[in-house]
Amino acid sequence: MAQPLSQPVARPELRDYHDEEDDYNDDKDGNTTYSQFACIGVGFSGIALGATLKRWHNIQDVRFFERRPDIGGTWSANRYPGCAVDIPGFLYSFSFAPNPDWTGILPAADEIRAYLRRVADRYGVTARTSFGAHVIACHWRSRSRRWRLVVRYPDDGGRIVRHDCRFLFGATGVLVHPKDPGLVGLDSFRGRCFHTASWPADLDLSDKRVVVVGNGCTASQVIPAIIGQCRHLSQFIRSRQWFLQSPPSFTIPPSVHWLLAHVPGLLSFLRLVVFFVHELHGRVYPMTAAGHRRRAAEASATLSFVRSTAPAQFHAMLEPDYAPGCKRRVLGTDYVRSLNAPNISVTEEPIVEVLPDGVRSRDGAFTPADVIILASGFLTGRFMHGIDVRGSDGRTLDQHWKQYGGAEAYNCCALSHFPNMFMLLGPNTITGHTSCVMAIENGVNYALRVIRPILDSPDAFVEVKPEAEARYSRDLQQALGKTVYLSGCISWYNQEGPDGRKWNSISYPRSQAEFWYRCLFPVRRDWNYVGAPHATSRSKPTLLAVAAAVLGALWLLWRNRGP
């Protein structure tokens, strides 16, 4: 039987929660808790927030709400075979919690989960987390100048609690809600069918005929991991990918772990080297002559790798008709090699119908199946999705974003009329070439710098000015229009706005060093501070000098836009 792509949570009627004067909000039964900070989600973003609050301000008055039974976010949800990070672990980790003990260059998911648990425990995040907590509403209450959260616990008889906070952080992630591939007849299938984000722990693929739908990052990890178990694997490609060669796969010896742990500065230097190498990869994005040359060189190298590794019968299906970088590139060494297995078949013919014992494709061919694996990706461009978030003007997030044409946020984290609220890994934070953990840390640091002037003023709040948000959003989309992201491919980076225009709510069009610099110095004139004076000084001259030096070094790598 087909497994639902997501488990919907029954939502009580919210109309009673919208009015600040009703009994629900009056809290006559005393069933409302309070913390200075509240955070929805405990993956990399939530843990970064909790750790930084403690490191910078020794603030522990924070409550985390996590709908899953464990911390980890997407790394808690995704437990499919072969699941691993595609960025070196020395960069895909917190700068304040470096890990010298990664067993390989690209750590597997279980290593990432263990790392996150250690960091969360060290900074007290786990102890302040409510698990199985589904936040269904967040409303700003103008009189009290507080956010009110409505939280439901489905595993506790549907119990509903209220929680108030001064500062609200959304750390709900980007790749959260599985995308329905829209296959007709899926419910009629008699075998097992599931999305990779809901991989059954008891699944046995021995002697099974397996259908895999998709060929992006997830499918390219799953297929090499299970091809040896299946009787036969049939892959249905939905769109072509650029498959890059993966870094060398080897076990890092204990002697290297010892050196990284004991030689002062060595681990930090390695992290910096990895960062700069990945920033070089970002030079394929600008739609300039130099960017075109780099894309052509990358395409040539990638096609050479594919043609020398995969069977000739698959070459055409592995050669995209769009420029490298338009979609997220896939590390595919193991996948491309797995195409040589005798028990694999690949087709670009779309599935038109799922039958009780298999699938039928557009060319009329029937493919028998015992298991159907949906590697169809996730719904993107939706932030704090499924939560009724309402700001000071009573509008929801979707209503707010309708005026722009898609999801957006000032400096990737803030919205006008949503006071004291910040999104972590929010709209236009991600790049296609480097670690999102750096972007998460930058976002956390920026938000805490913005609210620093009002931390000791209990009735104060801050919100970005509407004109500053509009200007930032316009400039960002214009910058994205000069990159390969909007060059014509179908990508989860892009959505179609109501007027038919492409809207990119995922990608950041510049380097992560530039974003780091932006996050060092909040532009105070772009913010309304209410109820407390705020600092006007941007920062110390020494910090400016350091930032200028780093940006100058990056300029030599990034700003090569010659003819």
Separation of alpha carbons 187 and 210, rounded Å:
17
Nearest-CA neighbor of 74 among 330, 385, 378?
378
CA 484 distance to own-chain centroid: 20
- The mean per-residue pLDDT over the stretch 318-327 comes to 94
Q: What is the mean pLDDT of the chain?
A: 90
Separation of alpha carbons 383 and 177, rounded Å:
10
Does position 14 have pLDDT exceeding 50, yes or no?
A: no
Average the pLDDT over each of 1-10, 38-47, 332-341 and give the range with the smallest value. 1-10
pLDDT in tens, 149-177: 999 999 999 999 999 999 999 999 988 88
pLDDT in tens, 392-444: 999 999 999 999 999 999 999 999 999 999 999 999 999 888 999 999 999 99
Q: Which pLDDT score is estimated for 560?
A: 42
Q: Which two tokens stand for residue 77?
A: 């949800």
Separation of alpha carbons 527 and 537, rounded Å:
14
Does position 9 have pLDDT exceeding 60, yes or no?
A: no
Fold assignment, 17-71+125-176+380-478+505-558: FAD/NAD(P)-binding domain (3.50.50)
Q: Where are the domains of the chain?
A: 17-71+125-176+380-478+505-558, 186-250+257-374
Q: Which pLDDT score is estimated for 4?
A: 52
Q: Which pLDDT score is estimated for 561?
A: 41
Indicate the pairing of strand 366-368 with strand 62-66: unpaired
Check if the beta carbon of residue 387 is closer than 8 Å to that of residue 40.
Answer: yes
| 496 confidence band (pLDDT: 50, 70, 90) | confident
- The mean per-residue pLDDT over the stretch 175-187 comes to 91
Contacts of 551 (CB under 8 A, 6+ apart): 513, 514, 517
DSSP string, 481-514: TTBGGGSS---TTEEE-TTS-EEESSB-SS-HHH
DSSP-derived 3-state class of residue 225: helix
CATH code for the structural domain at 186-250+257-374: 3.50.50.60
Does position 521 have pLDDT exceeding 90, yes or no?
A: yes
Separation of alpha carbons 328 and 87, rounded Å:
13
CA atoms within 13 A on the CB side of 234: 21
Q: How far is CA 164 from CA 33, 53, 255, 318, in A?
A: 6, 18, 50, 52
Containing H/E element for 37? strand 32-40
Does position 558 have pLDDT exceeding 80, yes or no?
A: no
Separation of alpha carbons 102 and 308, rounded Å:
31
Average the pLDDT over each of 10-14, 33-37, 71-75, 234-238 and give the range with the smallest value. 10-14
Check if the beta carbon of residue 534 is closer than 8 Å to that of residue 524.
Answer: yes
Q: Which pLDDT score is estimated for 534?
A: 52
DSSP-derived 3-state class of residue 36: strand
Separation of alpha carbons 235 and 211, rounded Å:
6
Q: Which pLDDT score is estimated for 1?
A: 59
Does position 129 have pLDDT exceeding 70, yes or no?
A: yes
Top-confidence residue, 433 or 339:
339
DSSP string, 426-455: -TT-B-SSS-HHHHHHHHHHHHHHHHGGGT
Does position 108 have pLDDT exceeding 90, yes or no?
A: yes
| 29 confidence band (pLDDT: 50, 70, 90) | low
Tell me, yes or no, if the two domains 17-71+125-176+380-478+505-558 and 186-250+257-374 fold the same way: yes
pTM: 0.90
Does position 195 have pLDDT exceeding 90, yes or no?
A: yes
Check if the beta carbon of residue 344 is closer than 8 Å to that of residue 211.
Answer: no
Does position 537 have pLDDT exceeding 50, yes or no?
A: no
Q: How far is CA 193 from CA 210, 211, 278, 367, in A?
A: 10, 9, 37, 15
φ and ψ at 249, to 5 degrees?
-100, 115
